[in-house]
Amino acid sequence: MSKPKILIARAVFPEVIARLEQHFDVESNQDDHTWSKAELIAHLQGKAGAFTTGGDRIDSDVLAACPELKMCANMAVGYNNFDLDAMTAAGVLATNAPDVLTETTADFGFALLMATARRITESEHFLRAGKWTKWRYDMFAGADIHGATLGILGMGRIGQGIAKRGALGFGMKVIYHNRSRLDAALEAECQARYVDKEELLKTADHLVLVLPYSPASHHAIGASELALMKPTATLVNIARGGIVDDAALAAALRNRTIAAAGLDVFEGEPSVHPDLLSVPNVVLTPHIASATMPTRLAMASLAADNLIAFFTGNKPLTPLNAAVLAIK
């Protein structure tokens, strides 16, 4: 009996490919080309499954052109590259890779917060440019982290990890806003207090965004929200591009509406709004919050586990539209 055909849409660990080849006829993109929609459709012809990353858009056009496709496994916790409604209507299962990146991403979120608050990137550029000639009392004086108020918008697993790091490691007062409030035991574990969004914006010394992207969260932070924040506040986005209005943020940074920002995600990435590149008070990283080798391998392995489970008649570990399984 022939093996099901799958596509690995971006470069991935060779050992993960070798494992998948035990179960599938694999086409892999180890040259890591960034395909257009037409090219993705062409490579998906005859494929029953796909191993995707956050940049591989699976929508109604792709599904209509690829009728043999039955399952897509995302090597990411986010899945805004999937049109879940269209996938469910087409009977195509979607999975993601949550949990395995929680602690690593929370580490990075806190690192980005610290770099932003303490002006590390800005001061390094100053030093590398040969501008450091003397000490001055206010040279790159930033904001304290210990004892400050940490605000978190989006209190899932990663948000909770950041809250614990702030409260337990730095004695921060933690406030949060979320679509639904955590239960009392979890709030106590995170030492976090629930507030409405307006109070979060007005009160936080350091605001970290960890909410999923959806049409409802598009530009959740725009000019009006930034205007509510303290002029000494910092903003960190490790969630998804599009949650922040990048043009409005660049203007707020230039006008010192807020003190600084740290961004790992961007609207239209890998493109970055040019205004963000011209303001000094922002730390910019290329979507690397989960980028440690053990974590990225765990993410890839979970995507592989989902593909193998689905095509061997077992239940995938992390389905996003489990209703598809019920009708198979």
CATH superfamily for 102-284 is NAD(P)-binding Rossmann-like Domain (3.40.50.720)
Q: Is 146 annotated in the active site?
A: no
Q: Is 1 exposed, middle or buried (0-12, 13-18, 19+ CB in 10 A)?
A: exposed
Residue ranges of domains in the chain = 5-100+293-326, 102-284
Average confidence (pLDDT) over 214-228: 96
Catalytic position from the list 27, 189, 199, 269: 269
Catalytic position from the list 43, 119, 177, 287: 287
The predicted pLDDT at position 328 comes to: 58
How far lies 305's CA from each of 45, 46, 256, in Å? 23, 21, 47
The predicted pLDDT at position 58 comes to: 98
d(CA 95, CA 306) in angstroms, rounded, equals: 7
Lowest mean pLDDT across 152-156, 167-171, 214-218:
214-218
Average confidence (pLDDT) over 87-105: 97
Taking residue 120's Cβ as centre, other Cβ atoms within 10 Å add up to 17
Q: Is 267 annotated in the active site?
A: no
Average pLDDT across the chain, whole number: 97
Instruction: Give 18's contacts (C-beta < 8 A, 6+ positions apart).
Output: none
Please determine, for residue 83, whether its predicted confidence score (pLDDT) is greater than 90: yes
The predicted pLDDT at position 1 comes to: 73
Per-residue pLDDT reduced to its tens digit, 114-168: 999 999 999 999 999 999 999 999 999 999 999 999 999 999 999 999 999 999 9
Give the burial string for 5-44 (b: 16+ CB within 10 Å, else e): bbbbbbebeeebbebbeebbebebbeeeeebeeeebbebb
Q: 5-100+293-326 belongs to which CATH class? A: alpha beta
Q: Is 15 annotated in the active site?
A: no
Would you say the CATH fold of 102-284 matches that of 5-100+293-326? yes
Catalytic position from the list 240, 267, 273, 296: 240
The phi and psi torsions of 212 (rounded to 5 degrees) equal -70, 150
The predicted pLDDT at position 326 comes to: 83
The phi and psi torsions of 262 (rounded to 5 degrees) equal -125, 125
Please determine, for residue 327, whether its predicted confidence score (pLDDT) is greater than 80: no
Give me the residue label for tokens 């209190």. 155
Average confidence (pLDDT) over 88-106: 97
The Cα angle at residue 32 between residues 316 and 60, in degrees rounded to 5: 55
